[in-house]
Amino acid sequence: MNIVVNGRHMEITDALKSYASEKVSKVDKYLPEGTEAVVTLEVEKFRHKAEVQIKVNGILIQAHEETEEMYASIDKVMDKIGRQVRKYKEKLKGHKGRGEEMVMPEAGFEAELIPEIIKIKRFDMKPMAPEEAVMQMELLDKDFFVFSNVTSGAVNVIYKRKDGNIGLIEPVSK
């Protein structure tokens, strides 16, 4: 596995780099050859943030965590990544042959049920501007709102961010 450790607003020490690389390399045995992992460590005042992105066969597995201590942030983010990698492997093994049993989780990862779709909701989307969609989301008291963008005609999503601001997701065709 190719592991890249980056730092934002901080100098990455050898000890921190080796600790992060050691933690990320623990999931290497569950992933195919040629997998790339990018670890980004960031400090903002008293918040230490760790983010890990792993690219596996065109799929992006990512997680981020924030604590008051960098080593704790790395540990917590790797717990999240471990669960996501296990889910990825279970889905691969479960979809290969429909007659096969699901593989039990590897030691060190806690068992977790895979959620299923229990409700499908359909609704009419009238074309609207993002500003109008924000107003509609706030009127409905929701965390996100799906709408058809009046300028592009594409389906967009407006969502509330953790920092209190609003985010917009716009699909881009390749």
Q: What is the CATH number of the domain that holds 64?
A: 3.30.160.100
111 occurs within a structural domain: no
Q: What is the pLDDT of residue 32?
A: 82
Q: What is the pLDDT of residue 167?
A: 95
- Domain boundary (45, 73, 96) is at 96
Query: CB count, 10 Å around CB of 24?
Result: 22
| Number of structural domains found in the chain | 2
Q: Could you tell me the CA-to-CA distances from 159 to 47, 76, 121, 142, 146 in Å, in that order?
A: 24, 25, 18, 8, 9
Q: Are 92 and 147 in a shared domain? A: no
Q: What is the domain range of residue 19?
A: 2-96
51 occurs within a structural domain: yes
Q: Are 74 and 158 in a shared domain? A: no
Q: What is the pLDDT of residue 23?
A: 92
H-run or E-run covering 88: helix 70-96
110 occurs within a structural domain: no
Q: Are 91 and 8 in a shared domain? A: yes
Q: What is the pLDDT of residue 96?
A: 53
Q: Are 165 and 86 in a shared domain? A: no
Q: What is the pLDDT of residue 85?
A: 86
Long-range contacts from 60-63, C-beta under 8 angstroms, 24+ separation: 61/85, 61/88
Q: What is the pLDDT of residue 101?
A: 45
- Domain boundary (81, 96, 111) is at 96
Q: What is the CATH number of the domain that holds 161?
A: 3.30.505.50
Q: What is the pLDDT of residue 61?
A: 86
Q: What is the pLDDT of residue 146?
A: 93
Q: What is the pLDDT of residue 95?
A: 57
Q: Are 88 and 143 in a shared domain? A: no
Low pLDDT (below 70) residues in the chain:
94-114
